[in-house]
Structure 1
Amino acid sequence: MGAQLRVYRQKIRSAQTTKKITRAMELIAASRIQKAKARVEASTPYAKAITRAVSAVANHSNQDHPLVTEAENIVRAAVVIFTSDRGLAGAFNSQVLREAEELAERLRGEGKEVVYYLIGRKAVGYFSFRNRPAVRTWIGETENPSFELAKEVSDAVLEAYATDAASGGVQEIHLVHNRLISMVSQLPQVVRLLPLELVEGDSDESSLDPLYAFEPDPETVLDALLPAYIESRIFNAMLESAAAKHAATQKAMKSATDNADALIRDYTRLANNARQAEITQQISEIVGGADALS
């Protein structure tokens, strides 16, 4: 009985140590989520506004610009996958990787070759383990992304988009990242970045479409707007992924803390039962010994 009691007490101490760690990680994630949400809320209006501006130029100029005109024969598509550098975030990484795999299968079903651009150690590890190549990888800034990293990713995908298909270029760019719906819900989202598909933002059917005048000319305006559009959309996706990761970590660590509490309660009850059984056995031995002496 004594050995069993020692085992239960050791398990209680282990669960208490685990609870301290998970509780600390939950509090850290909770402190970071508000700043991450504020960054998303600050960047989203600009990303939507520049998307509307690019769409307006493309729709009203009748300009056959390669960045807004879909190719007749799409040979190759790029998929940019946003994951985290660290785990302990529940299904955060697995669900975005699963969504990327489904997108890749759909693109291959359409006869397109898929090339990957990976952001985050989890995506890099996933593809390395399966010996699947990626064109470019970026790690180290997933929890607090910088605009410099977004610009680097943007330059890489734009260079591939501007390259001819025969030379290894791509004709489509897709983004796959997690979006923060609420503190308990983070859903993967797929966005076709190029060619431009639709206008984001609030639509008001009662309003008339504005008239546009372009200076010096629509092509120059598109050349100036599109790099900024790509950078802002990729940066916004990075910020949304970071905010969703902090929320997922907080949720996972809260669940782990609750599980540690349940383990402590169960092992405490078992330890009390073992101690009571040991006391009962000792009393029985004393009474038995006294009876034998008498």
Structure 2
Amino acid sequence: MGAQQREYRQRSRSVQSTQKITRAMELIAASRVVKARQRVAETTPYAAAITRAVSAVATHTEDIDHPLVTARENPRRAAMIVITSDRGLAGAYSASVLKRSEQLRELLQDEGMEVVPYLTGRKAESYYRFRGREFAQSWTGFSDAPTFEVAKEIAETGVREFVKGAENGGVDELHIVYTRFINMVSQEVQVTRLLPLEVVEDEAPRTENAYPLYEFEPSGPEVLDALLPRYITSRVWNALLQAAASELAARQRAMKSATDNAEELIKTYTRLANQARQAEITQEISEIVGGASALADAKK
């Protein structure tokens, strides 16, 4: 009984040590997610505004033939930017992104395209290395606190490969897979085709013969030359920030759940240890009573 009691006590102390770690990680994630949410709120309006601006130029410029907005005939290669985390202990955050990227890969391959992965986060890199898959390039070490310089580098790499085209070793399409931050409870994996630009703009209210008028100075293609690199950079930057906020929110929830589970385990082990101690005391009392009874019977 004593050995069993000591085992339960040791398990309880071990769980208590783990609980301290999970509680500390929960508090760290809770403090950092505030700044991450603020950065998302600051960059999202700009990303939405530049998307509307590029859409307006591409929609209302007649006979536009810009390589970044014109879909290529018979695309053969597609780049896929996958944004995951550098560390674990965030629930199914990275696994959900990787699962969605696999679905995108299968869809593109069914369309006859070769997929060229570009990875961010050690989780994606480990996933590909473990399965012996090749990837074009990876960026790590910043998943929960991305910088604009990294976003710009990723965007420039994507644009450069797209401009080259599949016939020159580049790609014909550019997709991005990331986790969109909705709130602290809800985040969803998002798949977006960045290039060629998908122009979707609601028609402006108009009368029967009145259409919205746009004038571009200089010409529409020259405006697109200036806007599209900024557009891609802003979208990648916003995606990285959305993913960072989602990662911290997922880690906070996962660590809170782990802390609560540790609390339940501690209660269970404490109860089992008390039961073992009570059983040991009961056995000792029974032995004492039995010995006393045997002595009493021997004196008769």
Identify whether the pair has TM-score above 0.5, normalized to the shorter chain. Answer: yes
After superposition, give the CA deviation of every residue in 1:13-33 in whole Å (9 maximum; x if it has no partner).
111111111111111111111
Offset at 1:169? 1.1
SS of equivalent residue, structure 1 residue 182: coil
1:5-44 correspondence to structure 2 within 5 Å: 5-44=5-44
Which stretch shifts more, 160-169 or 98-107? 160-169
Offset at 1:182? 2.4
1:251 correspondence with 2:253: yes
Counterparts of 2:246 and 2:26 in 1: how far apart (Å)?
Answer: 14
Partner of 2:170: 169
Offset at 1:292? 2.0
Q: Which amino acid aligns with 1:37?
A: R
Counterparts of 1:276 and 1:107 in 2: how far apart (Å)?
Answer: 65
Offset at 1:209? 6.2
Partner of 2:121: 120
Offset at 1:147? 0.5
SS of equivalent residue, structure 1 residue 47: helix
Offset at 1:277? 0.3
Partner of 1:64: 65
Q: Which amino acid aligns with 1:23?
A: R
Which stretch shifts more, 53-62 or 222-231? 53-62
Partner of 1:90: 91
Partner of 2:45: 45
Offset at 1:218? 1.3
Q: CA RMSD in A?
A: 1.4
Offset at 1:179? 1.2
Counterparts of 1:244 and 1:158 in 2: how far apart (Å)?
Answer: 26
1:131-150 correspondence to structure 2 within 5 Å: 131-150=132-151
Offset at 1:51? 0.7
Counterparts of 1:76 and 1:116 in 2: how far apart (Å)?
Answer: 11
Partner of 1:180: 181
Counterparts of 1:43 and 1:186 in 2: how far apart (Å)?
Answer: 17
TM-score normalized by structure 1? 0.96
Of 289, 292, 295, the match for 1:290: 292
The 1:286/1:158 distance shift into structure 2, 3 A limit, reads same
Counterparts of 2:140 and 2:171 in 1: how far apart (Å)?
Answer: 23
The 1:10/1:167 distance shift into structure 2, 3 A limit, reads same
The 1:275/1:205 distance shift into structure 2, 3 A limit, reads farther
Counterparts of 2:119 and 2:243 in 1: how far apart (Å)?
Answer: 13
Offset at 1:184? 2.2
Partner of 2:263: 261
Q: Which amino acid aligns with 1:281?
A: Q
The 1:135/1:274 distance shift into structure 2, 3 A limit, reads same
After superposition, give the CA deviation of every residue in 1:122-143 in whole Å (9 maximum; x if it has no partner).
0011001111111110001111
| C-alpha contact (below 8 Å) 1:79/1:174 kept by paired residues | yes
The 1:40/1:199 distance shift into structure 2, 3 A limit, reads farther
| C-alpha contact (below 8 Å) 1:92/1:186 kept by paired residues | no
After superposition, give the CA deviation of every residue in 1:98-154 in whole Å (9 maximum; x if it has no partner).
000000100000111110000000001100111111111000111110100000001
Identity in percent:
60
Name structure 1 gaps, 5 residues minimum: none
| C-alpha contact (below 8 Å) 2:58/2:199 kept by paired residues | no
Counterparts of 1:209 and 1:50 in 2: how far apart (Å)?
Answer: 22
Number of equivalent positions: 292
Offset at 1:185? 2.2
Counterparts of 1:139 and 1:210 in 2: how far apart (Å)?
Answer: 45
| C-alpha contact (below 8 Å) 1:51/1:199 kept by paired residues | no
Q: Which amino acid aligns with 1:40?
A: V
SS of equivalent residue, structure 1 residue 211: coil
SS of equivalent residue, structure 1 residue 131: coil
Offset at 1:205? 5.7
Q: Which amino acid aligns with 1:13?
A: R
Counterparts of 2:92 and 2:193 in 1: how far apart (Å)?
Answer: 23
Offset at 1:204? 8.1
